[in-house]
Amino acid sequence: MAQNRRDADRMETSKISVLLLEFSIPAMIGMLVNAIYNVVDRIFIGNTPELGATGLAAASITYPVTLVLLAFSLMVGVGAATLYSISLGQKDYKKAEVYLGHTISLSAIAGIIFMVVGIIFIRPLLRTLGASEAVLPMAEDYLSIILYGGIFQIIAIALNNLTRADGSPNTTMVSMIIGAGFNILFDYILIVQLGWGMKGAAYATVGGQFLSMLYQLFYFMNGRSTVPFTLASLKPQLADTLEILKIGIPAFLLQLANSFLTMMMNAQLVNYGGDIAVSVAGIVTSASTIIIMLISGLTQGMQPLISFNTGAQRPDRVKETMRWGAWVGTIIAVVGFLIIQIFPQFVIRLFNQESAVLAMGIPAIRIGTLAFPVDGVKMVWSSYFQSVGEVRLASFLNLLRQVIFLIPVLLIFGPMFGLYGIFWAIPVAEILAAIVTAYFIWKDFYNKPAMWSEIN
């Protein structure tokens, strides 16, 4: 255990560039692998003749529900990981132990509640999300299985944040690779070879999440972590629970807003372009997710460095982490932007070969990703406020794009410009959100003497 604590102290002494590579590369690989869960499902679904564009629409219709599941995972995981990192920076190992136990128990409770409520209301929920008569049976086949396995996803994702905060990003990466590898293999076996359709895709996803969860639990229960896991720490204490949920609210609201936004967009897409438009939007989302997940992995690698050095009173190292993160995030976003803009047909064909999908999808994916060059630095800046525990501001910035800007722009652009107006709303909202986020970063770095005066 002493060796583990010496390893954690490296975050206060080692070079930031080295630490950022050490923490972010495994996180980026892990998040990329995590994105594969949905992307691979949609590739197999879209290229299976019995499913095709209708199956893609079914997967897209259920996406808001999986985002709500992710919202609960991140509320617990990000909240606990931030407090865990700060506790390690303060050398308060008993408190870190409490946050570890609470992560597991709160994740399990959230998973059970989500499963029960989801299964009871699955049909009316899918109809509310815009499932047509053709799409509804496939969507129900897929979602019912995902709901039963939701507890595995919540625990796995929450603990991924804790292992990274514990100074073991490679464990997070391996956990995700194991899960995604299972998902890819069994997508092929269950969908292509056995013909299980949407149910096969769901079983493959749940099985991968289960294995990822087991690997994370093994890490914390065999003495490899900085603080020991104890059964006593599983019992939720009200004050600690509220603190975790409070810090995790920005991440929760971000995914909840994504869910509401996806539901609203699907309703408009059905109105202007039918099920094909929903399929196209699912492809645009899947392609964008790969780039966004890479940047998200970068910000997750930055989080323990920022949180630890905030707790250790090292603002110089916090600022250096932000500088490196902004550059790397921008490079990732620009490379993704160029690939999609130059090779849109290739990207669309990965998911579906139908001529109607290609005709609609090529202009849609080019328009929807126009703001990628600013997304990288915007996501890095937004993540800073959550990492230092500024919950209200982090929540506000996370809601800028999804709610405050995008929903009004969607409501205006849809009726004015029709189907492609919906896709144009995305880059417009992204750029507006980036401008506001830049203002708050400038204000915090250069007008906050208690934190930054000695290094400006």
> How does pLDDT run across 67-119, given as a tens digit for each residue?
788 888 888 988 888 888 888 878 888 888 888 888 899 999 999 998 999 99
Contact 275, 135 (CB under 8 A): yes
Write the CA distances from 215 to 37, 155, 185, 202, 297, integer angstroms. 17, 11, 18, 20, 19
What is the CB neighbour count within 10 angstroms for residue 226? 24
Residue spans of beta strands (DSSP E) within 82-192: none
**pLDDT tens digits, residue range 234-289?**
888 888 888 888 888 877 877 777 777 778 888 888 888 887 888 888 888 888 88
Stated pTM of the model: 0.70
**pLDDT tens digits, residue range 14-28?**
788 788 888 888 778
Asked whether residue 6 carries a pLDDT value surpassing 60, the answer given is no
H/E stretch holding 73 reads: helix 52-89
**pLDDT tens digits, residue range 198-227?**
899 899 989 999 999 999 898 888 877 788
**pLDDT tens digits, residue range 127-170?**
888 788 888 999 999 999 999 998 998 999 889 888 878 878 78
- Nearest Cα to 434, choosing from 385, 411, 401? 401
**pLDDT tens digits, residue range 176-190?**
889 888 988 998 999
Amino acid 277: pLDDT: 86
CA angle at residue 182 from 180 to 187, to 5 degrees? 95
Asked whether residue 311 carries a pLDDT value surpassing 80, the answer given is no
**pLDDT tens digits, residue range 337-374?**
999 999 999 989 888 788 888 999 999 999 999 999 98
- Nearest Cα to 250, choosing from 434, 74, 83? 74
Average pLDDT, the chain: 83
11 — pLDDT class (breaks 50, 70, 90): low
Asked whether residue 448 carries a pLDDT value surpassing 60, the answer given is no
**Domain locations in the chain?**
2-455
Helices assigned H by DSSP within 192-237: 197-221
* Mean pLDDT of all residues in 436-455: 65
452 — pLDDT class (breaks 50, 70, 90): very low
37 — pLDDT class (breaks 50, 70, 90): low
Asked whether residue 30 carries a pLDDT value surpassing 80, the answer given is no
Amino acid 13: pLDDT: 67
Asked whether residue 449 carries a pLDDT value surpassing 80, the answer given is no
